[in-house]
Structure 1
Amino acid sequence: MDLPEARARFQQLRAADGSVAAAELDDIWAVLPTARPEEILGEWKGGEFDTGHPLNGVLTQADWYGKTFASVHDAKPLICRDAEGALYSNRELGQGEASLWTVEFRGEATATMVYDGRPVLDHFKWVDDTTLMGIMNAKGVPAEGPYYYFFLERAPQPSGEGARAGAGS
C-alpha cells in the first residue's frame, strides 16, 4: 500500500458504519508520515474506529470532543462537553492531563502524548494536512495489541491558521 492508497482507505474506513479490522488500520499506519510534537499544537476534534477494543464507546459516553495541545508541556487529552455543551478538560477521567514527546513506536519516532496520571501513550501520524491517526498504547499491552485506534481533525482556526505545511506531500 502506498501513501495515496492509505489515505483513501483511511477515509473509507472512517466513513463506514460498523467494525473495522485492526490489521487494516495497522497497514494504513505503516505508510503514514510521522509527526513532530510541535507540528500538532492546537485544537483537535476526535473520533474512534470500532475495532472491538474495550474502550470503544467509552469516550462517546463521556461526550468526548477531542484533544487540545496548547504546548508540548500542556496537552489536554480529554476535551469533553458539559451538560450545557461547553468544552472542558475532563481531568477526572484522564487522571490529570498530559504532555507531548517524541517516542519510538513500531520502529519510528513520532509525536506521542504521555498521560500524567495513567500509563498511557497516544501515538500520532499524519493522514493529511489536517488529520491525524492515533493509536493508544498502554503499560501491559503486548506488542501485537489490542490497541485503541482513533483520529483527530484539526478544529477550525481563525484566519486559516494551524495547518501543517508539508504533510500533504
Structure 2
Amino acid sequence: MTLTREAAIADFWTRVDSQEVSDPADLDAIWAALPTVGVDEILGDWKGGELPSGHRMDGLLASVNWHGKWFKSPYDVAPMVCRDADGNLYSNTEIGKGEASLWTVEFRGESTASMVYDGQPVIDHFKKVDDATLMGIMNGKTSLVRDKHFYFYLQREDG
C-alpha cells in the first residue's frame, strides 16, 4: 500500500488516538510516506508513546513508567526517560543499558536521524510527522521479533 504524505499523517494520528493494534505493514506504509529528519532538527526533550503492532514490547514501556527521550546534543542522549515514584523524570540507564548518541543512519534506503544505544544492539530510526512529532522504529538484534519492528512516536516538549 502506498500513501500520500497527507494520508499517512491522518492515518498516523488515527492510530495514535485509538491505540488499537495495527498491522506492521500498515505502519510501514505510514513510515514510507513520511520525510526523513536531520539530527539537529530533533534536539530537545520528547514525550513518547507506543504504536501497538503485536510486538512483544507492546505495553512494556508503560510498565516501567517510560516518559520519552532527551536529545541534549548528538552525544548526550537519554533514551529511557522514566518517572520515579514521586513523578520526577530521570534517565533510566539500567533499562536502557546506558545512554545513547544520535547519528544519521541509512534505514530502508533512506538516511535519517537515528539513536544508537551505547549498551545494546539497538537503533531507533526517526521520521518527521510534523514539526513537533516524530515516528520511530526500533531496529536491532534484540528488538526484532520474527523480523518485525517495534513502533513508537515522540512529541516535542520544549516547543
1:118 aligns to what?
120
Q: CA deviation at 1:42?
A: 0.2
Q: What is the root-mean-square deviation in Å for CA atoms of aligned residues?
A: 1.3
Question: How far apart, in 1, do the equivalents of 2:16 and 2:59 lie?
Answer: 15
Deviating above 6 A after TM superposition, structure 1's stretches of 4 or more consecutive aligned residues are none
From 27, 33, 36, the counterpart of 2:35:
33
Deviation string for 1:112-141 (max 9, x for gaps)?
A: 000000000000000011000000001267
1:46 counterpart = 2:48: yes
Tell me if structure 1 keeps the 8 A contact 2:75–2:101.
yes
Q: CA deviation at 1:50?
A: 1.1
1:61 counterpart = 2:34: no
Q: How many residues align?
A: 156
Tell me if structure 1 keeps the 8 A contact 2:122–2:143.
no
Tell me if structure 1 keeps the 8 A contact 2:16–2:51.
yes
Quickly say closer, same or farther: Cα 1:33–1:71, change in 2 above 3 A: same
Question: How far apart, in 1, do the equivalents of 2:109 and 2:86 lie?
Answer: 43
2:12 aligns to what?
10
Question: How far apart, in 1, do the equivalents of 2:116 and 2:123 lie?
Answer: 5
Q: CA deviation at 1:145?
A: 2.6
1:132 aligns to what?
134
Unaligned runs of 5+ in 2: none
Question: How far apart, in 1, do the equivalents of 2:92 and 2:124 lie?
Answer: 17
Q: CA deviation at 1:16?
A: 0.9
Counterpart of 2:18 in structure 1: which amino acid? A
Question: How far apart, in 2, do the equivalents of 1:147 and 1:103 lie?
Answer: 16
Identity %: 54
1:72 counterpart = 2:74: yes
Counterpart of 2:8 in structure 1: which amino acid? A
- Alignment TM-score, normalising by the size of structure 1: 0.89
